[in-house]
Amino acid sequence: MTGGLRGPSPEERPHPEGRRNSQGIRIDPEAEAEPRTRTAVVSALVEHEPGVLSRVSGLFSRRQFNIESLTVGPTTVDGHARITLVVEETDPGIDQVKKQLAKLKPAISVGELDDDAVRAELVLLKVRGDEPDKVHAITQMYEGQTLDAGPRTITVQITGDHGKIDDAVDAFRQFGIIEIARTGQTALARGDTPTTPGEEPGHTAEPAGDGADRGVPDTNSD
């Protein structure tokens, strides 16, 4: 009779994946993986007062949120403006973007748009004018408009969703892009769905008061 406990040999035993930290504790690779980010479009209805855009941009700059684009413009209600943010963050990060934006005094309503929202942006491209016929053909292909044409440069305008704009920019590279100006995305919810919660087109929404009145936790406040 041989000594030792019965069971598989060391070579036959399962070997858990992962690594050990400095204390010798095994770390689950899935638990240690980087959290996944996603792109979200956040729409905010705000009081259109002086400095509101700088306050919003300053807020996100201080907190180092990964903002891809920010646009602002008037709505159907006098004194109101709509801010559209495109942010690439984790789900907790996106939640914080919405909460911190809702805490700003000019904010009336904040919400995230669904994936099927109507989105569009605009790009102006100034390219070399050596091949005007080809430039015109590409402009027509992307349903664009020629804004200026001279002997050395041609400036065109393209509007559409993010993917269409990216494709158009790539197509114009063959002519040599001299300058480019791009707005970033703006968006509205489809159908009868309000773009921001509680919004009624053409009607004034009541300001929601401070962050506590809106059910926003008082964490990470400025």
Q: What is the 3-state secondary structure (H, E, C) of 113-152?
A: CCCCCEEEEEEEEEEECCCHHHHHHHHHHCCCEEEEECCC
pLDDT at 34 over 80: no
pLDDT at 171 over 80: yes
Q: Which domains does the chain have, with CATH numbers?
A: 38-112 (3.30.70.260), 118-186 (3.30.70.1150)
Q: What is the DSSP letter of 45?
A: E
Band of pLDDT at residue 213, cut at 50, 70 and 90: very low
pLDDT at 9 over 60: yes
pLDDT score, position 166: 96
The residue type found at 181 is A
Rounded to the nearest integer, the mean pLDDT of the chain is: 82
Band of pLDDT at residue 124, cut at 50, 70 and 90: very high
> Number of C-alpha atoms within 13 angstroms, CB side, residue 123?
24
For 99-110, the pLDDT digits (tens) are 999 988 889 999
Tell me the pTM: 0.68
pLDDT score, position 55: 83
- pLDDT: is 17 or 45 the higher one? 45
Q: Count of CB atoms within 10 A of residue 139's CB?
A: 22
The answer to whether the CB of 40 falls within 8 A of the CB of 53 is: no
Residue with tokens 């980087």: 34
Q: Helix or strand or coil: residue 67? A: strand
Q: Which of 86-100, 116-130, 195-209 has maximum average pLDDT?
A: 116-130
Query: In sequence order, which residues have a C-beta less than 8 Å from that of residue 167 and are 6 or more positions away?
Result: 142
Query: In sequence order, which residues have a C-beta less than 8 Å from that of residue 150 and are 6 or more positions away?
Result: 129
pLDDT score, position 30: 53
- pLDDT: is 60 or 23 the higher one? 60
Positive or negative: CA dihedral 70, 71, 74, 76? negative
pLDDT score, position 215: 40
Q: Is 176 left (phi over 0), alpha (psi -120 to 50) or beta?
A: left
> Number of C-alpha atoms within 13 angstroms, CB side, residue 101?
31
Band of pLDDT at residue 19, cut at 50, 70 and 90: low
